[in-house]
Amino acid sequence: MLDIKFVRENPEIVKENIKKKFQDAKLPMVDEVLELDAKNRAAITEASELRASRNALSKQIGMLMGQAKKDPSKLAEAEAVKAQVKANADRLAELEALEEQYAARIRALMLNIPNIIDPSVPIGPDDSANVEVQRFGEPAVPDFDIPYHTEIMESFNGVDMDAAGRVSGNGFYYLMGDVARLHSAVLAYARDFMIGKGFIYCIPPFMIHGNVVEGVMSQTDMDAMMYKIEGEDLYLIGTSEHSMIGKFIDQILPEESLPQTLTSYSPCFRKEKGAHGIEERGVYRIHQFEKQEMIVVCRPEDSMAWYEKMWRFSVELFRSMDIPVRQLECCSGDLADLKVKSCDIEAWSPRQKKYFEVCSCSNLGDAQARRLKMRVKGADGRMYLPHTLNNTVVAPPRMLIAYLENHLQADGSVTIAEVLQPYMGGTKLLVPKK
């Protein structure tokens, strides 16, 4: 969410940014915000004047009532002043109601006006305009056919989609045996990898209040993603970033406590509405999965440096498991409204002979901090808003697809990367059961 003062002073910049994000339908929101802001400030000014007048008139009534004891003509004058006080009180009540209405509408509009994107973001309408920046590792295609990922898992008796369908419906799965163990090994390795980078390990709440959801997400993402608990002000998290950033709601952080660097494990729950292609069957796009995440809360001047560090952590993690990846810069139209800058890390799929997304790194500037009323108290006592960033460390169901395809051998076995072997009891090779 933008600062209302910034919108007031830079309406054309805000409108140009909306155009860059190909959201022209939102352009009238800027003018409506400015109009409501002007009315709200006028109401606040008039209300302040009435409150000041009320004090003066109250003193005047007291003085006139005292004088009326000697001069009865003053009584009528006092009654006239009382009538003025009553009229002022009625008007003040009207103004206070208007202020509340204006503020609510302004906030609703501001929650939908996109954040100002970084000048380095490529301009384009959707993910087709995202730009490959660099590759890490050599993508290879073996000289044998690679089955679909669920077929690989089934060869190890490692997945049961049918049972999950009977129990929970489409978009769920049972992971079994060696595949389930590999899933847990990846998460444990990712946890220790981030701890080794100096991040504090955290297991956060898996449900959050509505005001936290509003603070961390764009409104369109909220409606498309979140599951709400019936009859309660609680939502299941779509990613642990939500509750980890929410940890700082309404908090004043001492500057010396920055940066806050946390890495968390959580299950994630997503509606995943809409139709999906054949390549998104199996465990690619699902309603429930597990994830290791990282977040940073830092000084504004440090956020871009952290952005660079964070996506490189993901690259390092995947390369340590011998999975080729590339960095893809997200274009303006592919950025969620809160994001200033974002990139995806995509893993190589030798079966599809292309890359697919496994991580997403984002700098959100001060948008989440403003929504959540997070502040930092500087050494000089000055208050300011921190910047927040998040990045996927690893989300194993999707990451398992990349791992199994890149480690599959011609005989159907799967090699275990050296960094994962300690988490697999020293196992170096998975041998298919069928």
Q: Are residues 8 and 145 in the same domain?
A: no
Q: Read off the pLDDT band of 275 (50, 70, 90).
A: very low
> Residue 316 sits in a domain of what CATH number?
3.30.930.10
Q: How many CB atoms lie within 10 A of CB 376?
A: 24
> pLDDT tens, 127-172?
999 999 999 999 999 999 999 999 999 999 999 999 999 999 988 9
Note whether residue 153 is domain-resident: yes
Domain range spanning residue 147?
127-430
Q: Are residues 356 and 399 in the same domain?
A: yes
Q: How far out from the chain centre does Cα 36 lie?
A: 28
Residue 419 has pLDDT above 60, yes or no: yes
Residue ending a domain, among 64, 79, 110, is 110
Which amino acid is present at 93?
A
- What's the rounded mean pLDDT across residues 380-408? 95
Residue 68 has pLDDT above 70, yes or no: no
Note whether residue 121 is domain-resident: no
Distance CA 248, CA 18 (A): 29
Q: Are residues 91 and 132 in the same domain?
A: no
Q: Are residues 73 and 133 in the same domain?
A: no
Per-residue pLDDT at 74: 63
Q: Are residues 192 and 311 in the same domain?
A: yes
Residue 279 has pLDDT above 70, yes or no: no
For the chain, the straight-line distance linking the first and the last C-alpha, in angstroms and rounded, comes to 54
Residue ending a domain, among 110, 145, 167, is 110
Task: Give the dihedral sign, CA 420/421/424/427.
Answer: positive
Residues 6+ apart with CB under 8 A from 117: 17, 20, 21, 332, 335, 339, 340, 341
Per-residue pLDDT at 304: 98
- What's the rounded mean pLDDT across residues 103-127? 96
DSSP string, 328-350: EEPPGGGS-TT-SEEEEEEEEET
Total domains in the chain come to 2
Q: Are residues 263 and 331 in the same domain?
A: yes
> Residue 97 sits in a domain of what CATH number?
1.10.287
Q: Report residue 404 as tokens.
A: 């199994």
Q: Are residues 272 and 233 in the same domain?
A: yes
Q: Are residues 150 and 69 in the same domain?
A: no
Contact 122, 329 (CB under 8 A): yes
Model confidence, pTM: 0.89
Q: Are residues 295 and 234 in the same domain?
A: yes
Residues 6+ apart with CB under 8 A from 385: 300, 366, 369, 370, 374, 375, 376
Q: Are residues 71 and 164 in the same domain?
A: no
- What's the rounded mean pLDDT across residues 244-249? 97
Residue 85 has pLDDT above 60, yes or no: yes
Q: Rounded mean pLDDT of the chain?
A: 91
| Residue 386: φ, ψ to 5° | -80, 170
Q: Are residues 271 and 333 in the same domain?
A: yes
Distance CA 309, CA 117 (A): 19
Q: How many CB atoms lie within 10 A of CB 224?
A: 15
> pLDDT tens, 168-222?
998 899 999 999 999 999 999 999 999 999 999 999 999 999 999 999 987 667 7
Q: Read off the pLDDT band of 284 (50, 70, 90).
A: confident
Residue 361 has pLDDT above 70, yes or no: yes
Residue ending a domain, among 62, 79, 110, is 110
Q: Are residues 285 and 399 in the same domain?
A: yes
Q: Read off the pLDDT band of 91 (50, 70, 90).
A: confident
Q: What percent of the chain has pLDDT over 90?
A: 81
